[in-house]
């Protein structure tokens, strides 16, 4: 009896403990969900709903007349129109070039700045503060300043003309060949501080012993960068690369302020073309179709980003 009772009591005790655990687990899940709810609701309202609206708009005929009325379903007609006349294709090509320049310059100069500012000190701190200031500047202000700097009587042309490098000002913002590159350069400049800060944080995590060991092995500065720093920041590089690609892909503000897509259509990238179609032509359906293509590009990159984050977490 006792022998029978004992296990039963033990089972009951286990069951009771298990029940409490399960009860605690359920309650914990509820608490977690409760904490998750505001963020989920926020995302639902301000990300998912607009995205669904955008998708719906891209397959409908929506103009100023029908924006606040019923939207007529037109299938893929807007996508066909966007790319039929070559306007969308040209913008896609420009976006590709733009993203390439922004990503290359943003990553390389960001890493270079991080390496230069790796040390702790007064100058390093002052430069970092300046970079944070540049990063925090609203793009409209930043773009206006750069528009002035790149003008015929701006700083860069003053230097070029004073040094006698050219007879006439450089057409930074008004030549079809220069304009896209100039705006891409300014976009890169704006992303450098962020990239530098993230790279610097990764570099600061390298144990000092690693550098000491490398120094004992007699490595020079370049070898230190090549064989110590670069391998150490590789996971960060991948994440940052995806973020910079996304940043370049969705760039709009600087084009809006500095060239308005001009001269002609020379700096019309996909996001700016979508803006013109929706808010200058008031063909919201067409603008939405162009924007969906942009969003698709960003979503693909976002998926890569999420994957790389997971991998980095697993490795660490």
Partner 1 sequence: MTPTTRSAPSLAARAASRATNTSERGSGSRNGRRRAVGLTASALAAALALAACGGGGGDGDTGGTGGGGEGGGTVTVWHYFSDDNQVRLMDEFAAKFEGEREGVTVENVYVPYDEMNSKVIAAAGSQTGPDVVVFNGAETATLALAGALAPLDDYWADYEDAGQFPDSVIHQVEDQTYAVQGYVNLLGLWYNAEILAEIGVEPPTTIEELEDAMAAATDAGYSGITLCGLPQGQGEWQAYPWLSAEGFTYDAPDAAALEAGLARVRGWVESGWLSQQAVTWDQTVPFQEFAAGGVAFAENGNWQMGTAESDARFEYGVVPLPLGADGQVYLGGEGQGIGAYSQNPDLAWEYLTATYLDAEGQLLPVEIVGSIPSRSDAAQDEMVTGNELLQPFAETIETYGANYPSPAIPPESVGDVQLTVGQAWSAALGGQQSPADAAQNVVGQLERLGG
| Residues at the site binding partner 1, with contacts judged by CB under 8 A | 63-65, 67-69, 147, 151-152, 171, 173-176, 256, 258-266, 276, 278-283
Q: How far is the CB of 247 from partner 1 (least distance, A)?
A: 23
User: Which residue, 194 or 272, has its beta carbon nearer to partner 1?
Assistant: 272
CB of 278 to partner 1, least distance (A): 8
Rounded to whole angstroms, the Cα distance separating 194 from 240 reads: 9
Task: Compare residues 51 and 67 and give the one whose CB is closer to partner 1.
Answer: 67
Q: Given the complex with partner 1, which of 65 and 120 has the nearer CB atom?
A: 65
The residue (of 131 and 286) whose beta carbon lies closer to partner 1 is 286
**Pick from 219, 256, 9: nearest CA to 139:** 256
Dump the DSSP string for 118-161: -S-SHHHHHHHHHHHHHHHS-HHHHHHHHHHHTSTTSHHHHHHH
Q: How far is the CB of 132 from partner 1 (least distance, A)?
A: 27
Q: Which is nearer to partner 1, 178 or 211 (CB)?
A: 178
Query: Which residue's CB is nearer to partner 1, number 124 or number 265?
Result: 265
What is the closest distance, in whole angstroms, from the C-beta atom of residue 165 to partner 1 in the complex?
19
């Amino acid at each position: 009896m006792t022998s029978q009772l004992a296990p039963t009591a033990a089972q009951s005790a286990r069951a009771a403990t298990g029940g409490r655990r399960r009860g605690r687990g359920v309650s914990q899940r509820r608490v977690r969900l409760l904490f998750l709810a505001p963020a989920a609701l926020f995302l639902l309202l301000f990300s998912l709903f607009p995205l669904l609206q955008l998708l719906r708009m891209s397959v409908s005929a929506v103009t100023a007349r029908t924006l606040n009325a019923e939207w007529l379903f037109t299938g893929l007609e807007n996508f066909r129109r966007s790319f039929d006349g070559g306007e969308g294709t040209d913008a896609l090509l420009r976006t590709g070039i733009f993203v390439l320049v922004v990503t290359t310059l943003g990553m390389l100069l960001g890493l270079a700045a991080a390496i230069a500012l790796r040390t702790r000190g007064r100058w390093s701190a002052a430069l970092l503060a300046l970079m944070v200031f540049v990063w925090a500047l609203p793009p409209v202000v930043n773009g206006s300043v750069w528009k002035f700097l790149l003008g015929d009587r701006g700083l860069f042309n003053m230097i070029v003309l004073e040094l006698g490098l050219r007879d006439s000002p450089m057409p930074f913002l008004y030549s079809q060949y220069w304009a896209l590159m100039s705006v891409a350069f300014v976009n890169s400049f704006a992303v450098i501080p962020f990239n530098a800060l993230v790279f610097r944080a990764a570099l600061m995590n390298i144990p000092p012993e690693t550098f000491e060991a490398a120094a004992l092995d007699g490595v020079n500065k370049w070898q230190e960068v090549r064989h110590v720093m670069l391998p150490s920041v590789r996971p960060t590089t991948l994440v940052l690369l995806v973020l910079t690609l996304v940043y370049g892909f969705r760039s709009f503000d600087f084009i809006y302020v500095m060239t308005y897509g001009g001269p002609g259509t020379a700096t019309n990238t996909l996001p700016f073309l979508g803006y013109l179609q929706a808010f200058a032509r008031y063909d919201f359906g067409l603008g939405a179709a162009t924007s969906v293509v942009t969003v698709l590009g960003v979503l693909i990159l976002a998926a890569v980003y999420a994957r790389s984050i997971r991998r980095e977490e697993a490795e660490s």
